[in-house]
Structure 1
Amino acid sequence: MNGVISSRLSLIRPAFISCGAVLVPLMIAGAIWEGIPGVLGAIAGVALVAVGFIGSWIFVAWSERIGLRMVLPAGVMGYVAKIILVSVAFLAATRTGWSGTMPMALATFVAIVVLLAVLMVWAARMRLPVVEPSDSL
């Protein structure tokens, strides 16, 4: 079981690297678009996605250690927590009238797409054990 958890946690490093790689162009785009608030919006958007993704990923890996029956509820709770986190962040940004809200939204969208692409590549390369069904029933 520990091997499965450590292999799942091996995604955290590529996730951070991809967030860092996408952050620089988004900061430049935010600076061109809105100046300093645009840069801060890009940073906030990528950080929001990174914290939500990695937090829920660790939570699911931890729940797997408790028992496999806990993985689905933990995954659902992770998604609910991420939706609440993103909603509160955008609600706070729009209520204040901050001009970095649109760069934050763009950065959030781009970071989600990049992290999903990293997740798909990671899952495609992950070696899963194969269990052959027995013919004697």
Structure 2
Amino acid sequence: MRAARGFLKPCFAVAGIAAVIAAVAGWITAGGPGAWGAPAGVALAALGFAGSVQAVAAAEKIDLRLTLPMALITYAFKLVIAFFALWTVQSTAPNALLPFACGIVGGAVAWLATQAVWAYKAKIPYIELDQPS
């Protein structure tokens, strides 16, 4: 799994670029609340994806059959965190809610697109190369 986690660095790099772009776009469209809300949404998405990768990798060390249940659990947990974060932003800074939500969506798209490009270019064998005779 360690080799398969090679996409984390490029994904974080693209998420950083997306956060800067989100901050500028948020500032232009919504002023100060947008300037912090949009990149905060990108950061939440990136941290959620990275947390899922780490949780699934930890489950894989225990037993490969635990990876799907762990992925589903982390997905549900991420949804709860995202809804709680959206509720908190709406309660404390309603002007930042739309930029924050757009940042979450933009961060997710940036992360997933980067991961897809990495997976397309990666040389990952689909069969076991070192099989004992």
Could you state the TM-score of these two structures normalised by the residue count of structure 1?
Answer: 0.86
The alignment's C-alpha RMSD in Å is 1.5
Q: Which amino acid aligns with 1:101?
A: L
Determine the structure 1 residue equivalent to 2:24.
28
Please tell me whether Structure 1 or Structure 2 has the larger radius of gyration of its CA atoms. 1
CA distance in 2, matches of 1:121, 1:29: 25
TM-superposed deviation, 1:127: 2.6
From 7, 19, 26, give the equivalent of 1:11: 7
TM-superposed deviation, 1:103: 0.7
TM-superposed deviation, 1:107: 1.1
Aligned residue for 2:95, secondary structure, equals coil
1:106-137, Cα deviation, whole Å (9 max, x unpaired):
111111111111111122223333439xxxxx
CA contact (8 A) 1:8 1:61 kept: no
TM-superposed deviation, 1:64: 1.0
- 1:89 and 2:85 matched: yes
> What runs of 5+ residues in structure 2 fail to find an aligned partner?
129-133
Aligned residue for 1:99, secondary structure, equals helix
From 102, 105, 108, give the equivalent of 1:112: 108
Q: Which amino acid aligns with 1:80?
A: A
Q: Which amino acid aligns with 2:94?
A: W
The number of residues matched between the two structures is 128
TM-superposed deviation, 1:46: 0.8
Could you state the TM-score of these two structures normalised by the residue count of structure 2?
Answer: 0.88
CA contact (8 A) 1:45 1:104 kept: yes
CA distance in 1, matches of 2:10, 2:126: 25
Determine the structure 2 residue equivalent to 1:62.
58
1:37-61, Cα deviation, whole Å (9 max, x unpaired):
1111012101110110100111111
TM-superposed deviation, 1:97: 4.5
CA distance in 2, matches of 1:127, 1:115: 20
TM-superposed deviation, 1:95: 2.3
After superposing on structure 2, the runs of 4+ consecutive aligned residues of structure 1 that deviate more than 2 Å are 95-98, 125-132
